[in-house]
Structure 1
Amino acid sequence: MEQPNPNTLRPDPGHAEPLLQLTGVHTRIGQYHILQGVDLAVPRGGLSVLLGRNGAGKTTTLRTIMGLWKASEGTIRFDGRDITTLATPDIARAGIAYVPENMAVFSELTVRENLVLAARNGALDQARVDWICGFFPALRKFWNYPAGNLSGGQKQMVAIARAIVEPRKLLLVDEPTKGLAPSIVHSLIAAFRELKERETTILLVEQNFNFVRSLGDTVSVMDDGRVAHAGTMAALAGDAALQQRLLGLSLDTHQ
């Protein structure tokens, strides 16, 4: 494993404080020590990508940030505030939304009802709904259908729509393109780009390397529960040898 470089994993004091900062974070689940000292900085206003082989700790990192699993050591700071010990609802209220890999939707509720539950005070902003449906037209078509009757790709659209139905400071997304048709992937790219323009910071775990190469500003690569490399996506995308060393593959060979 490439050894972490403290100068790349931690922000330069001369630059603005990152929106999200993990310092020495450990997470234990039962007898398993999953995260083993994660240092991660997510700059404001861009899209940061978390890469790594299966089992490296990417999903555990997102769940630990969200408070679903508690860090046993280390600190998590968000927007200048220590959120390490906060409960998940308080973390959500601070401005973080999470889209898990398993497309968490309320199956018995309609698409509209799923979004209403995520809206502030249970009231949808029609202009924002129209904006979301511009990226995902199927949501309008199935507006009054039970979400459990939708396809996997359509459920993923509902899950992302729930997360962005209200403006968020930070969006955590775990493998959004998994199993999706190319047309929906293109819609996701457009949605994430516009979210960045609207000053939403995004931390994305993804295995579709061409997808993240087109979107990512910064990238961190995890290995064995730690961040082994951090830098710009452009630098990683342009260095096949670095890709091979960190990921065991070349981005150019994975469509």
Structure 2
Amino acid sequence: MRDANRSEAAGQAPLLTLSGVHTHIGQYHILQGVDLAVPRGGLSVLLGRNGAGKTTTLRTIMGLWKASAGAITFDGQDITKLATPDIARAGIAYVPESMAVFSDLTVRENLHLAARSGPMDQARVDWIFGFFPALKKFWNYPAGNLSGGQKQMVAIARAIVEPRKLLLVDEPTKGLAPAIVQSLIAAFRELKETDTTILLVEQNFNFVRSLGDTVSVMDDGRVAHAGAMAALAGDDELQQRLLGLSLDSHQ
């Protein structure tokens, strides 16, 4: 049924669109006319060398840095000038690379704060525990006492404790043990079967190759390539041209 839904979604307008987006941070002109379309459903990947503008793109979408030109449209609404809390209320959640958990609060309290519509849905919490059993074990522990991988689990769990239309995730596997990466793969695969659309920045190419439906490659503050993930994963020459490496070298 989900595949049928995706086929229908293929003819729909993208859930998220960036049109000619520029972002300045101080004197630096980071995004230089980003055009990006994120289809409804599934997982879209944003690739590129370090400094290409991937994280700036996510932060600009979330309103943490303001676009100096261009437009950002989400689910038919212009969100370019909205404040970050309003963007979150529109249905977008953001998991930064830094994780940014509340260290003095327990795991439970971190998730409770993210459940803005009311008490946490215990069935959804149990679903999260299925992917990240360590969170159940450390439920009443201060989040600051957890390992880096466990904090990443808290950050992702906090973003999905309530259903979201769009989940922005910045390099979730960075520094994580292989077993935790496998848990993330399982979590993202199941999220793809819900109504959550995911835009993922990641450097672990095996991770994105197994999950990504579409891919955009950034270079010097612009999108240099956009298409199906399967097409990029199967074309070594294209990988070398766009990324300077082959995905096969990261197996």
Q: TM-score, with normalisation over the residues of structure 1?
A: 0.94
Q: Please give the alpha-carbon distance, in whole angstroms, between the structure 1 residues aligned to 2:211 and 2:156.
A: 17
Give the residue type in structure 2 aligned to 1:39: D
Partner of 2:59: 63
Give the residue type in structure 2 aligned to 1:62: L
* Map 1:106-255 → 2, pairs under 5 A: 106-255=102-251
Q: Following TM superposition, by how much is the alpha carbon of 1:120 offset from its aligned partner in structure 2, in angstroms?
A: 2.4
Post-superposition Cα deviations, 1:169-225, rounded to whole Å, max 9, x if no partner, equal 000000000011111111111101111101200000000000000000000000000
Q: Following TM superposition, by how much is the alpha carbon of 1:15 offset from its aligned partner in structure 2, in angstroms?
A: 2.7
Q: Percent identity?
A: 88
* Map 1:82-121 → 2, pairs under 5 A: 82-121=78-117
Give the residue type in structure 1 aligned to 2:24: R
Post-superposition Cα deviations, 1:17-58, rounded to whole Å, max 9, x if no partner, equal 000000000000000000000000000001000000000000
Give the residue type in structure 2 aligned to 1:16: Q
Q: Following TM superposition, by how much is the alpha carbon of 1:122 offset from its aligned partner in structure 2, in angstroms?
A: 4.5
DSSP-derived class of the 1:39 partner: strand
Post-superposition Cα deviations, 1:126-159, rounded to whole Å, max 9, x if no partner, equal 0000000000000000000000000000000000
- Structure 1 stretches of 4+ with a deviation exceeding 4 A read none
DSSP-derived class of the 1:204 partner: strand
Give the residue type in structure 2 aligned to 1:187: S
Q: Please give the alpha-carbon distance, in whole angstroms, between the structure 2 residues aligned to 1:159 and 1:228.
A: 30
Unaligned runs of 5+ in 1: 1-13
Q: Please give the alpha-carbon distance, in whole angstroms, between the structure 2 residues aligned to 1:134 and 1:15.
A: 34
Q: TM-score, with normalisation over the residues of structure 2?
A: 0.95
Give the residue type in structure 2 aligned to 1:135: F
Partner of 1:77: 73
* Aligned-residue RMSD, C-alpha: 0.8
DSSP-derived class of the 2:11 partner: coil
